[in-house]
A and B are shown apart, each in its own frame.
Chain A
Amino acid sequence: MKATYLNSKHKDLGGFMVDFSGWEMPLHYGSQLNEHNEVRTNVGIFDVSHMAVFDLDGEKQEDFLRFLLPNDIKKINGQNKAMYSPMLNYEGGILDDLIVYYLGNKSFRIVSNCATREKNLSWLSKIAEPFDVGIDFKSDYSILALQGPNSHKFIKSHIEKDISKFSVHNTDDVMIASTGYTGELGYEIICDQEKGIKFWNEFVSNDVQPIGLAARDTLRLEAGLNLYGTDMDQTNTPYDSNIGWTIDFNDKDRDFIGKKALEEKKDSKKILKGFYTEERGVLRGGAEVIFKGGSGVVTSGTWSPTFKKNIGFCRVDKNCGEIGSAVLRDKKITLKFCNTNFLESLKQDV
């Protein structure tokens, strides 16, 4: 099994290690609920070095990215910013989702998922070739995510001035960006392992709670953030995956991979909706959802530590109405459909 450079640290901290897409990673360090709550109310540190970092090289990086991705990198051009985008095939199916960071000096970095590392490397290399853009796979880089309302306290000594959401602070060897996967204020730190371990030790010795993959999943679900491979894959388009907002048709002269296909698929009948139930028992991925006039499927479901009820995403028809049902352990339960960002849609109930 593969391991990140912090593997022994996780074990020393009591990490309950599991196989995650071929990587030995901490599921939790004792209690995923405590870890979840710590990120919502204070701060936590994640090792996500199993994710993939690709640094671009060459004159035509911008042209390449404008063709590669449906979201338009022009939006952030010249600014020290980050941009979220799915990466599509020519049929408009989602190959992965990723964040592009502008590092300065006309250079960009892509960070994408763990399970798609090798596939992405060959796809990126293939598409980049005619642009004469090099893809440098930083396979041994450290990626840490410091997340939570108090994360700023622990990062401020490392950045010259405060950075706003989706901004990038880059020096020669350390990139700190205000991005994350939790719905909280937070920072992602990308550097080599030697510096990575210094950050990790600094945070942990200052009582920042390490957070495992289990809490990472409940945090991202509450925040309405898709998990690639679970909530969307190649059989889905951004339109039926709640990320249609990433498709940028503004520049009519710009061609991008999947553009033609997406123009035909704009009127997708299916959407990704949030749901919650007041009943006991967790409706999990794969469960069938019934609504007036049709049926759909749960893509992710969990018990929400913040809202103390069952929440999830389901792929249903656009006109699914407000209420649906499902069968859980031979009992019919009622689902209420809502916006996938539960931090917003359930806020008033807290």
Chain B
Amino acid sequence: MSDNEKNLKFLDSHEWARDDDGVVTVGISNHAQELLGDIVYVELPQIGSNVSQKDGVAIVESVKAASDVYSPLTGEIVEINEKLSDNPEIINSSPYEDGWFFKVKPQNINELDEMLDSDAYKKLSEE
């Protein structure tokens, strides 16, 4: 496990979240991108939209399958990774860095605590 992976929180639906001074960046895990294979499309949420915890807010589609991406927190979408629209393969090559999906300004940052830590997620994804 890489250092940056260790500091992330995860959902069992394979999203990761990282708190950067009160704004939470969300992406999909390395395990998720491996399962999906080559990613060819991404649909991202609108900036300014309000989302609820565990809402499907983005879609990631590989050659093989399409999958919803859920928001781990309730809040407002403040930024999206527009690079993904033309270069979705970034998600395959850099799921935890350049391949982030969107940023949420959460209503309640404590919702992060409901997520899995990296060890628990790793255990789950190895099952």
A-side residues, CB < 8 A to B, are 16, 27-28, 31-33, 214, 218, 280-282, 284, 302-303, 305, 329
Q: In the bound complex, do residue B59 and residue A329 qualify as a contact, i.e. CB atoms below 8 Å apart?
A: yes
Which B residues are closer than 8 A to A by beta carbons?
34, 37-38, 40-41, 43, 59, 61, 63-66, 92
CA A303 to CA B38, docked complex, whole Å: 10
A34 nearest CB neighbor, chain B only: B38
Q: Is the interface of A mostly helix, strand, loop or mixed?
A: mixed
A214-B64, A303-B63 are known contacts. Are A280 and B37 too (CB-CB below 8 A)?
A: no
Q: Is A281's CB under 8 angstroms from B66's CB? A: yes
- State the Cβ distance, B110 to closest chain A Cβ, in Å: 32
User: Which listed residue (B37, B61, B63) contacts A281, Cβ 8 A?
Assistant: B61
Q: Report if A302-B34 is in contact (Cβ < 8 Å); known contacts: A31-B92, A280-B41.
A: no
Contacts of B38 in A (CB 8 A): 31-33
When C-beta atoms are compared, the residue in chain A nearest to B62 turns out to be: A303
Of the residues A28, A284, A329, contact of B37 by C-beta under 8 Å: A28
Which of B41, B59, B63, B92 is close to A302, meaning CB atoms less than 8 Å apart? B63
Q: How distant is B26 from chain A, measured CB to nearest CB, in Å?
A: 20
CA distance A218 to B38 in the complex (A): 12
For residue B42, which residue of chain A has the nearest CB?
A280
Q: A302-B63, A329-B66 are in contact. List 20 more A-B contacts (CB 8 A).
A: A16-B34, A16-B37, A27-B37, A28-B37, A32-B64, A33-B63, A214-B63, A214-B64, A280-B41, A280-B43, A281-B43, A281-B61, A281-B66, A282-B41, A282-B61, A282-B66, A303-B40, A303-B63, A329-B43, A329-B59
Query: Of B37, B63, B65, which is in contact with the most chain A CB atoms at under 10 Å from its CB?
Result: B63
19 A-B pairs in the complex with CB atoms less than 8 angstroms apart: A16-B37, A27-B37, A31-B38, A31-B92, A32-B37, A32-B38, A32-B64, A33-B38, A214-B63, A218-B63, A280-B41, A281-B61, A281-B66, A282-B41, A282-B66, A303-B41, A303-B61, A329-B43, A329-B66
